[in-house]
Chain A
Amino acid sequence: DVKVTQSSRYLVKRTGEKVFLECVQDMDHENMFWYRQDPGLGLRLIYFSYDVKMKEKGDIPEGYSVSREKKERFSLILESASTNQTSMYLCASSLGAVNEKLFFGSGTQLSVL
């Protein structure tokens, strides 16, 4: 089975800190995605990547950046964490074809105090 691993299940950070969320997939998937999940808003796409060193903005990229130096790893960076970035962050990956399904990690619940 495909495994998508997010480095932390729970994370507590202070306002203004630089935060790194790591995601690793073990099935050689071309595509990787970062979403945040908030009650009533569903999943909102932050950034995605369809190849190494390639990235595309999603619908809510402000305040975030990403890095994909290796195919299996996709990092989400909060440059200066703010309280409105408190959320559940979900990483996903898929094969390269556009009709492929997503495989999700278990999520990281980030609290910014």
Chain B
Amino acid sequence: AQSVAQPEDQVNVAEGNPLTVKCTYSVSGNPYLFWYVQYPNRGLQFLLKYITGDNLVKGSYGFEAEFNKSQTSFHLKKPSALVSDSALYFCAVRERYSSASKIIFGSGTRLSIRP
């Protein structure tokens, strides 16, 4: 069965410093991988996705994520954090084989950027 793990409940970073939010996955075959963000009192928004090709994926708001097949990881990164990046971040995985495959989310990581 497919699964997603976000090992950190909370990540605290000073503004201007680089940030990393970790995600590992387990799935049969090759996955599609996604990151979503949830700002306070708002719905989830798509950030970026990995389909195939370049292991470094660029997304919205200056975020990027690196796909590492050997480590089954898809960590979210940003070179310089902003206070406005403070939010709840979710990693998600989907198996490729059919439209009937599930999209499974991790437990979420709360990112807090201090001024």
Q: Which residue of A lies closest to B99 (CB)?
A: A50
Find out whether the CB atom of B99 lies under 8 angstroms from the CB atom of A31: yes
Stretch of A11-19, A62-70, A75-83, A97-105 that contacts chain B: A97-105
B49 lies within 8 A of A99 (CB): yes
Asked whether A28 is an interface residue with its Cβ less than 8 Å from the other chain, the reply is no
In the complex, the chain B residue whose C-beta lies closest to that of A4 is: B43
Stretch at the interface among B67-75, B76-84, B105-113: B105-113
Q: At the interface, yes or no: A106 with Cβ under 8 Å from chain B?
A: yes
Taking the nearest CB of chain A, how far is it from the CB of B42, in angstroms?
Answer: 7
Interface size on A, residues (CB 8 A): 29
Q: Is B57 an interface residue (CB 8 A)?
A: no
Query: What is the interface size of chain B, counting residues whose CB is below 8 A from a CB of the partner?
Result: 29
**Are A98 and B46 interface neighbours, CB within 8 A?**
no
Closest Cβ neighbor of B48 among chain A residues: A101
Given A98-B32, A98-B98, A90 and B103 contact (CB-CB distance below 8 Å): no
Report Cα–Cα, A63/B106, bound state, in Å.
Answer: 22
Cα–Cα, bound, A40→B90 (Å)? 12
How close is B114's CB to chain A, nearest CB, in angstroms?
22
Q: Interface on A for B, CB 8 Å cutoff?
A: 4, 30-31, 33, 35, 40-45, 48, 50, 56, 58-59, 90, 92, 96-99, 101-107
